[in-house]
A and B are shown apart, each in its own frame.
Chain A
Amino acid sequence: MAHAALASAAAACPSNSAPPEHSQRADPAAFVRRDAEGREVLELLIEGAKCAGCIRKIEGGLLEMPGVASARLNLSTGRLNVSWAPGALGARDIVDRLTRMGYGATGFDPESAKRHVDEEGRKLLRYLAVAGFAAMNIMMFSVPVWSGDGEMGEGTRTLLHWISALIAIPAVLYAAQPFFRSAWIALRARRANMDVPISLAVFLTLGVSVAETVQQGAHAYFDGITMLLFFLLIGRYLDHKLREQARTAARDLLALQAITASRIGADGHVAAIGAGDIRVGDRLLLAAGDRAPVDGVVLEGVSDLDRSMLTGETLPHDVRPGDAIHAGVVNLSQALVMRATARASDSSVAELARLIEAGEQGRARFVRLAEKAAALYVPVVHSLALATFLGWLFGPALLRWTGLDVADVGLRVAFMNAVAVLIITCPCALGLAVPAVQVVATGRLFKRGVLVKSGDALERLAQVDVAVFDKTGTLTLGKPRLVSVVDADTMRAAAALARVSRHPLSRALAAAAGPGNAIRDAREIPGEGIEAGGMRLGRRTYAAPECADAADGAAEIWFSNGNAPPVRFVFTDELRVDAAQTISALRKRGIAVELISGDRPLAVEAAAREAGIEVWVGAASPADKTARLAALRAEGKKPLMIGDGLNDAAALAAAHASASPGTALEASQAASDLVIQGAGLMPLVDAIDVAKMARARALENLRFSALYNLVAAPLAAAGFLTPLIAALAMSGSSLVVTLNALRLQLEQSSATKPEPSSDSPGSEWAVEAGRS
């Protein structure tokens, strides 16, 4: 155990380990801004900082650098703010220093780097504080009133009620604003949501209590109403926190793949700029390994493009001057000069945006659990209140008619009892029932590396019965791996050539061969291959024109060395380590699995066989994917789409629920309900399990709320409700619902045994123990 703790401590704090490797790092210089005092400011996203030592090391290390004026790390968000005197050093120096210390550092898009303050969250906290203050102080006056029942003089009681009213009226009018606003919006759209009965109950209770106070009556509900608001605001704040957390995390993920561009000025000078600053007509330099930030046309250079993000194809495509380049493709072998034909915001997405919009309309029809409950609840409760009012008003007269001797109770009692029904059934528990569960569930998934974008995403995920996977980059890693077995000498010679090139197949070959020499004077012909001293490595027509095409559609490169027979290297796109395990785990849960990809059918079939998927479709266009999902939905199925490319975005939006890996493009992540960080797919299964458990808990909570109302409403209608009972019943039901939601934290997911991973809460404790 001690060993494991030490190992995970090392994993948690990367201070001495090698810096995390990223194939693409945005140039931080594009993100430097000037502050009011003329200093240069840079906001960086730091990976790996987890403890006090990290804070000290990072801040101390940077402040040691000459010229650095301030460095402040926010550990919760992982953002570091550095400022320095202009000219003293460059943004690159800062990032290099951090990288040497063992932390990954990425510059932020200037847009999102705008100091992000969660205004909405602060406002809710303020409402919460006011409601809490009012609830506690009014309780101070209510307890004597309750306990002095019968003994307290009417004058004293009315004085205490008046003081309570003076606190409650401004506090309620202030703190209930979120509910009033949301109810007003719903009413204007001619809908009813949960906030309508809440607002109505709040208004009526306040009005009735003030009227009682004026008339020196006993039934003032100031304590109940403020406490109710306090609990409801807790639910509201939790719900907000959840969204905010997911939003921030999603933004951070995208910042990690932030794209910058190198603009070639009129004088030939190259400057780093953010992708958002590119204008139509700009000449951009696209180095090998760079991702095209915008749509454009090639002006100079010949190279290959990796279009897998757009189409799902794994084989590179060659381009030459005059060819179009789409935003999102990766330039593989040679630097290109391109002219931008669109801004970043409208690149390659016009058609896609249309498809996504069409898909999302289907999802908008989804009715959340709480809304379903509200739709049932509102008419029942309101008619019950009306019936109570009419019953107390006309009931005595009716009874007299049947011969009984009953006196009239009057308008005031009838009204008080009707309001009592509304108060006691005010959907406090109902309002908390679902958000409390979802907060616990998403918090738990967050620790497992799954970002849940919204609460209803979990509800939809729980209903899923078909999972449709994309292949490239989702089921697979999107990286080729050598599968041919070749003798050591040939391998060594081929690898020496391959190391010169940035082509993905060359790099895969070099990776398979391990470290070794590279041939310095090799000549690379983009789109063809590499040549040096009679050896050729490249496509068949270039390296081995005399050999026949194998016609199996596999990714291949050929190597020829003088007169020796040419050798063929075959590559496959490697599946994620836990792909097959994930598929069988999904099956075990009764979820059918399909594979649909834009790649060549042969490659798709091979991947399907290896992962154990029986239903697969190859060479599918984005429209084919959406059509397949529409067909599944037409059959009454609830499909889950998992994809990463631009070509999946529309399908992701059209599915009942959707997920994308953290490496997915912005459009895909935006269209997904879940984003899965890390290399594996198993968190997806965990997410489905947790979603199902969350649904069970939420239903339990709703049932409990219904039961509570079934008991409480008749009591109120019968006129037995006192302010003391109302206060106890409302806070009691809220507590029960919250505690039931917390049970979710303790339950084990049936899929995942608690494996010791460095980010599970368990090992974090181990880290603490190991350090202390």
Chain B
Amino acid sequence: MSVMIVLIPIALFLAGLGLCAFFWSLRSGQYEDLDGAARRVLIADDEDAPL
């Protein structure tokens, strides 16, 4: 059972990382234009076109 002492902090740390990532994405305005983001991936940039 003593493995819990190691595993629980690791689990909480990883989940906390996810929470921080969500806060960051919220602050950087990634939820401001959900429709636009969905469509923008469809825009083909000519420079990146395969040769």
How does the 8 Å CB contact mask read for A62-94 relative to B, with 1 for contact and 0 for none?
A: 000000000001111100000000000000000
Question: Known contacts A56-B43, A126-B23: does B35 contact A133 (CB below 8 Å)?
Answer: no
Closest to B41 in A: A52
The count of chain A contact residues (Cβ–Cβ below 8 Å) is 22
Q: Are B39 and A51 in contact, CB atoms less than 8 angstroms apart?
A: yes
Whole-angstrom distance between the Cβ of B35 and the nearest chain A Cβ:
4
B34 at the A/B interface (Cβ < 8 Å)? yes
Tell me which of A52, A117, A133 contacts B19 (CB under 8 A): A133
Question: Known contacts A137-B11, A137-B12: does B23 contact A129 (CB below 8 Å)?
Answer: yes
Q: With the chains together, A481 CA to B42 CA distance in Å? A: 46
How does the 8 Å CB contact mask read for B2-42 relative to A, with 1 for contact and 0 for none?
A: 00000010011001101100110010010111111001111
Question: Known contacts A137-B12, A156-B1, A163-B8: does B32 contact A74 (CB below 8 Å)?
Answer: yes
Tell me which of A77, A117, A129, A140 contacts B33 (CB under 8 A): A77
Q: Which of A117, A137, A163 has the most CB of B within 10 A?
A: A137
Whole-angstrom distance between the Cβ of A206 and the nearest chain B Cβ:
20
A305 at the A/B interface (Cβ < 8 Å)? no
Q: Are A55 and B11 in contact, CB atoms less than 8 angstroms apart?
A: no
Tell me which of B19, B26, B34, B36 contacts A55 (CB under 8 A): B36
A130 at the A/B interface (Cβ < 8 Å)? yes
Closest to B27 in A: A122
Q: With the chains together, A167 CA to B23 CA distance in Å? A: 18
Q: Are A76 and B35 in contact, CB atoms less than 8 angstroms apart?
A: yes
Q: Are B39 and A75 in contact, CB atoms less than 8 angstroms apart?
A: yes
Closest to B31 in A: A125
Q: Are B8 and A75 in contact, CB atoms less than 8 angstroms apart?
A: no
Q: Are B23 and A136 in contact, CB atoms less than 8 angstroms apart?
A: no
Q: Are A125 and B43 in contact, CB atoms less than 8 angstroms apart?
A: no
Tell me which of A75, A130, A137 contacts B36 (CB under 8 A): A75
How does the 8 Å CB contact mask read for A145-169 relative to B, with 1 for contact and 0 for none?
A: 0000000000010000001000100
How does the 8 Å CB contact mask read for A113-133 relative to B, with 1 for contact and 0 for none?
A: 000010000100110011001
Whole-angstrom distance between the Cβ of A555 and the nearest chain B Cβ:
45
Question: Known contacts A137-B11, A140-B11: does B33 contact A75 (CB below 8 Å)?
Answer: yes
Interface of A is mostly: helix
How many residue pairs, one in A and one in B, have C-beta atoms under 8 Å apart? 51
Q: Are B40 and A55 in contact, CB atoms less than 8 angstroms apart?
A: yes
Tell me which of A51, A125, A136 contacts B26 (CB under 8 A): A125
- Residues of A within 8 Å of B11, CB to CB, are 137, 140
- Residues of A within 8 Å of B39, CB to CB, are 51-52, 55, 75
Question: Known contacts A52-B43, A55-B39, A56-B43: does B15 contact A136 (CB below 8 Å)?
Answer: yes
Q: Are B34 and A137 in contact, CB atoms less than 8 angstroms apart?
A: no
Q: With the chains together, A75 CA to B39 CA distance in Å? A: 9
Whole-angstrom distance between the Cβ of A315 and the nearest chain B Cβ:
45
Q: With the chains together, A152 CA to B8 CA distance in Å? A: 17
Question: Known contacts A75-B39, A130-B19: does B33 contact A122 (CB below 8 Å)?
Answer: no
Q: With the chains together, A562 CA to B36 CA distance in Å? A: 63
Q: With the chains together, A537 CA to B39 CA distance in Å? A: 54
Q: With the chains together, A137 CA to B41 CA distance in Å? A: 34
Q: Are B12 and A55 in contact, CB atoms less than 8 angstroms apart?
A: no
Whole-angstrom distance between the Cβ of B31 and the nearest chain A Cβ:
7
Question: Known contacts A76-B32, A76-B35, A76-B36: does B26 contact A133 (CB below 8 Å)?
Answer: no
- Residues of B within 8 Å of A75, CB to CB, are 33, 35-36, 39
Q: Are A76 and B34 in contact, CB atoms less than 8 angstroms apart?
A: yes
Tell me which of B15, B22, B40 contacts A137 (CB under 8 A): B15
Tell me which of B29, B31, B36, B41 contacts A73 (CB under 8 A): B36
Whole-angstrom distance between the Cβ of A420 and the nearest chain B Cβ:
28
Q: With the chains together, A77 CA to B31 CA distance in Å? A: 12
- Residues of A within 8 Å of B16, CB to CB, are 133
Q: Are A133 and B42 in contact, CB atoms less than 8 angstroms apart?
A: no
Q: With the chains together, A130 CA to B15 CA distance in Å? A: 11
- Residues of B within 8 Å of A55, CB to CB, are 36, 39-40, 43
Q: Can you list 12 A-B pairs, Cβ within 8 angstroms, ordered by A?
A: A52-B42, A55-B36, A55-B40, A55-B43, A74-B36, A77-B33, A117-B29, A125-B26, A129-B19, A129-B22, A133-B16, A167-B12
Return the 10 tightest CB-CB contacts between A and B, nearest first.
Answer: A75-B36, A52-B42, A52-B39, A74-B33, A75-B35, A76-B35, A76-B33, A133-B19, A56-B43, A129-B22
Chain A interfacial positions (CB closer than 8 Å to B) = 51-52, 55-56, 73-77, 117, 122, 125-126, 129-130, 133, 136-137, 140, 156, 163, 167
Chain B interfacial positions (CB closer than 8 Å to A) = 1, 8, 11-12, 15-16, 18-19, 22-23, 26, 29, 31-36, 39-43
